[in-house]
Structure 1
Amino acid sequence: MRILLLSNSPSKWMMRISSRYFSSIELPKFYATPIFYVNSVPHIGHLYTTIYADALHRFTRLCHPDAVTIFSTGTDEHGLKIQKSAQSKNTDLSTYCDQVSAKFRQLFDDASTSHTHFIRTTDNQHKKSVTNLWNILVEKGFIYKSKYCGYYSINDEAFVPDNLIRTNSAGEKISIETGHKLEWYEEENYVFRLSQLQDQVIDWIDNRLIMKPQNFHTALKADIRNIKNFKDVSVSRSKSRLCWGIEVPNDNSQLIYVWFDALTNYLTVAGYPNHDLTVWPPCHVIGKDIIKFHCIYWPAFLIAAGLQPPNLVYCHSHWLYDRQKMSKSLGNVVDPFDCIERFTADGIRYFLLKEGTPHSDSNFNIDAVKTCLNAELADTFGNLLNRCTSNKLNPQQYYPQNISLNEMNEILPESMETIDYIQNLSKQCYQAYSDGNFHIGIAHVMTGLRLVNSLFNIIRPWELPKILNNEINQKRLECLLFLSLESIRIAAILLKPIIPNISTSIFRKLNIQPEFCLWKSAEMNVTQHELYSHHQQLHVNRISTEKLIIFSKLI
């Protein structure tokens, strides 16, 4: 069953909301996902990484609406496995990259991401950035030419150190980290002097890097302690086996290593080398399988070039399907386009961010998606909105006014616990979101909405008009509607990084001005004087009469 999001154009919201800013935590202004290989079409993992970064970016914008922010994503289009993928499909390399990159761009647009930059490593400006960084490292003596040999993973586009290699039952060399088959290569390459930067990289990891969740930072520190000496790393590949990439300056027999090329995309987005890096450094959002590249190699490249390494990295775990690792051979790779078609962008965003636990792998299951969306978006959130805007309980279709919190506590003493909980929601969500734990913040919001829903069962407002002393009962009904509609407004603000389309539709439904859709307005800490010092100028704030269904039940 399709999900409907119907709304009306907004009119003025006539309430003055007083607010406190809850935290001094500084939020980044530049978020960046890894750029994704175009050796295959996008899968659910690509979508999760990108909406995770998007939620962080939207959260920053909600808290700092006037700040200039960047959110970059894109595609990594060079390297051996992309070359082989295009050859296997008998397709021209450039055409192949155009086609697959377009699918990633379409996916992120369909998923309602707020990215400001979509970068491709085949862009001319990016090639200039890579060449410039390379030349600086050569000038500083950090790149030299030497014979390089070792076991190489085509899938990972990387040489694998001896301590991370095992032999399988067939006698083949396998990467312990990824399970991918390795091949022995010997060739003359350009090499980066990683060994000279060991102390500086370790100091950065130990004393400057903030990595969330903490378990990944702890594991990284343990890993570098187990490495007695950093070895210099190859940063080029011979054209004799690779033809698709950026040429090494002044040596057309070599191509720049794909990871050196890919990591430089963050500098390209920031305007390097033509502009001052005013938004530098980026906040990285990465999967746990590429920590080594972003937290050892990348800071080493930057330190060598005299640039500041990133000081904040959000890392997340992987998605399983029915408790099994997703793979083409098992036929259990989840198609993100199909998910958006079946559950809408907001639906699949909600499930992934609600059920995704960054510190450990999460499980994907179609029935689990349906259960989650039915129980929370349809029954909890949608049911509350429908109750508050029903003709039976709210025949005038209005947002009650002239009600203070003290008045609500007096007239609706049953609501005191709920009011306290709603009042603290933005504090709880701020901490959870800034830690990258969207699943915790969402759980807090849903608990608040369930508390409000439970008040309807306690107060039974549909019976109030039948009871004598209608003036008191009418006031009780108004207080319940006010509390419920305020809770919906606050929930829509706090969930906007997660479900941006639904939140926007709710704001329109309730006729709320944009200034009261920001994080600083996500509370009910109001007094009679603050709200209504100019109440003579107010008029009744009417709710849109057009029906809004937040989320329909899924069959």
Structure 2
Amino acid sequence: MSATAFISTTIPYVNAQPHLGHAFEYVQTDSFARHMMRQRDVFFLSGSDENSLKNVLAAQREGIATQQLVDRNVRYFERLIEALGIGVDHFIRTSVSAEHIAGATEIWKRLEARGDIYSKDYEGLYCVGCEQFYAPAELVDGKCPEHLTVPEMISEQNLFFRLSRYAEPLLAELESGRMRVFPESRLNEVTSFIRSGLDDISISRSVERARGWGIPVPDSDSDSQVMYVWIDALTNYVNALGWTRDTENYRRFWVDTDKRVHVMGKGVLRFHAVYWPAMLLSAGLPLPTEVVVHGYITSAGQKLSKSLGNAVDPMDLVERYGQDAVRYLLLADFSPFGDGDFSEERLVSRYNTDLANGLGNLVSRITAMTVRYRDGALPASGALDAPETALVEQALTSTAESLSAMDRYDHREALARVWDLVRKANAYVDERAPWHLARSAEQGDTEAARSLDTVLHQTYLVVRRLGVLLRPFVPDASARILTALNEDPQLQEKDLSADPSGRRIEKAPPLFPKLEVA
């Protein structure tokens, strides 16, 4: 296998502007992608799901064409991606991408050729918000569990996919570990769902109910049907790689890689861990290797949602508090797998405590002392005593534990281990008190002078390491830290063994100015 990886966010509906939950998934996935880049070439995909009835209804409420609405709203998502520093390689749009439409059509044809598509009359409870049919037992007090609205009873003749045919093959993929689900509780949820019995699923909608919007079913006998939005949307992951043309990207990042990762919220787990792999099995394409499932960001315990009217505007947060503060809060404060409550007070508190007072103070101290005591030239290190040995051990431990946590998609744990090193380094500086060593050195104490050199050098090594470790989480801040040390902003872990003695350093400007709740 080649040293490559594919990773994707889900593609959100664009019936309204993005909320903080979208920002969470973008930042999560970006941190995972940047972590993978340590050892792999990575293809990072995102995009917009534009062929949904939700978009049609939103356009009708505004009195504009659906294409006009999605063209306008997709720009909000693209601007958020840019504002958050999300390093996507491709952003796919399902209503306008010829590659996507061709790929969705070809996968449909493959499912049909396999004998996995048939027609039947159907009646069921449908939630437009989820774009999903629900069984009565899945409702909560007769309402959709996601949107808290009463589903609509729909009766029509649709085309169905023989999902029931793939229960055993799906279980084999999951139980063998060829397709992994994080966290384990979600794996248990998926396997329990499959073992309870898979029903065939409706994969088309009438043109009338779809209001003429969507990708047509590729069959002249079914010209009154369009593809169900999820069946269309899920194919984006391979369509973006140009699978129908057997492109180099498709080969490198889907067929020949051992890491095909989808990141998503818990509400769409079934689509990604059951429906999509079953479609791939039917079409004869490789399956994802890892499905990473996050919880919801809540407000007063309630899921943030455009339809529930409690959405938090992430662009507004970035504009008022900055990219570092928003990214850091989402990755350091929120569980990668569970729900968590958001508040601006918490955002400001974590930023000021960890970034401004903790990390920013450490960078300021080491650069200022190097300028003051050694005229900006980093001295060589002397022999290591117990405090230095403990600092080095903490640096190695924090590095190993942080990287291991990211291998498990646990960004919160990874940052917690990085901050063990930040605290240790600040405590080391306080313990060694280089200002006292400098005073003694000025009075002719050569041993104090050597100890001062060692403190400056060893603290520099820690700050340099922190700059590299933090790249997946706060990439702009990482670059500023390394620049403050006169290092390459793209310095890699393999270069941390290089001796920086003699490097010229200037006092760093404030890297993390204090914030107040705006």
TM-score (norm 1): 0.86
C-alpha distance in 1 between matches for 2:501 and 2:460: 18
Alpha-carbon offset, residue 304 of structure 1: 0.4
Identity %: 30
Alpha-carbon offset, residue 332 of structure 1: 3.5
Alpha-carbon offset, residue 347 of structure 1: 1.6
The corresponding residue for 2:60 is: 87
C-alpha distance in 2 between matches for 1:327 and 1:234: 26
C-alpha distance in 2 between matches for 1:375 and 1:425: 19
The corresponding residue for 1:134 is: 108
Kindly provide the amino acid, as one letter, of the partner of residue 447 in structure 1.
D
The corresponding residue for 2:261 is: 283
C-alpha distance in 1 between matches for 2:100 and 2:201: 22
Q: 1:129-528 alignment to 2 at 5 Å?
A: 129-166=103-140, 168=141, 173-176=142-145, 179-207=148-176, 208-225=178-195, 227=196, 229-242=197-210, 243-249=212-218, 250=220, 251-276=222-247, 277-278=250-251, 279-280=253-254, 282-327=260-305, 332-390=310-368, 394-398=372-376, 400-403=378-381, 407-409=383-385, 413-467=386-440, 468-513=443-488, 517-522=491-496
Kindly provide the amino acid, as one letter, of the partner of residue 187 in structure 1.
E
Name the SS for the 2:315 alignment partner: helix
Alpha-carbon offset, residue 329 of structure 1: 7.6
Select which of 23, 34, 40 maps to 1:47.
Answer: 23
Alpha-carbon offset, residue 68 of structure 1: 3.1
- CA contact 2:15–2:54 (8 Å) conserved in 1: yes
Deviating more after overlay: 215-224 vs 355-364: 215-224
- CA contact 1:38–1:101 (8 Å) conserved in 2: yes
User: CA RMSD for the aligned pairs?
Assistant: 2.2
- CA contact 1:370–1:554 (8 Å) conserved in 2: yes
C-alpha distance in 1 between matches for 2:146 and 2:64: 31
Deviating more after overlay: 419-428 vs 346-355: 419-428
CA deviation string 1:323-366 (max 9, x = no partner): 34334587532110011112211221111000110232112111
Structure 1: gaps (5+ residues)? 1-24, 532-537
- CA contact 1:201–1:300 (8 Å) conserved in 2: yes
Kindly provide the amino acid, as one letter, of the partner of residue 509 in structure 1.
A
Q: Whose relative contact order is higher, 1 or 2, with alpha carbons under 8 Å and at least 6 apart?
A: 1
Note closer, same or farther for the CA distance 1:337–1:137 as it changes in structure 2 (3 Å cut).
Answer: same
Kindly provide the amino acid, as one letter, of the partner of residue 159 in structure 2.
Y
The corresponding residue for 1:18 is: none
C-alpha distance in 1 between matches for 2:278 and 2:306: 35
Alpha-carbon offset, residue 287 of structure 1: 0.7
Structure 2: gaps (5+ residues)? none
Deviating more after overlay: 306-315 vs 318-327: 318-327
Alpha-carbon offset, residue 392 of structure 1: 7.8
TM-score (norm 2): 0.92
Alpha-carbon offset, residue 139 of structure 1: 1.3
- CA contact 1:319–1:362 (8 Å) conserved in 2: yes
Alpha-carbon offset, residue 401 of structure 1: 4.3
C-alpha distance in 1 between matches for 2:227 and 2:72: 23
Note closer, same or farther for the CA distance 1:298–1:328 as it changes in structure 2 (3 Å cut).
Answer: closer
CA deviation string 1:94-142 (max 9, x = no partner): 1100011111011001110110000000112211111111111111111
C-alpha distance in 2 between matches for 1:133 and 1:510: 52
- CA contact 1:27–1:434 (8 Å) conserved in 2: no
- CA contact 1:35–1:75 (8 Å) conserved in 2: yes
Deviating more after overlay: 429-438 vs 276-285: 276-285
The corresponding residue for 1:58 is: 34
Name the SS for the 2:169 alignment partner: helix
Name the SS for the 1:314 alignment partner: strand
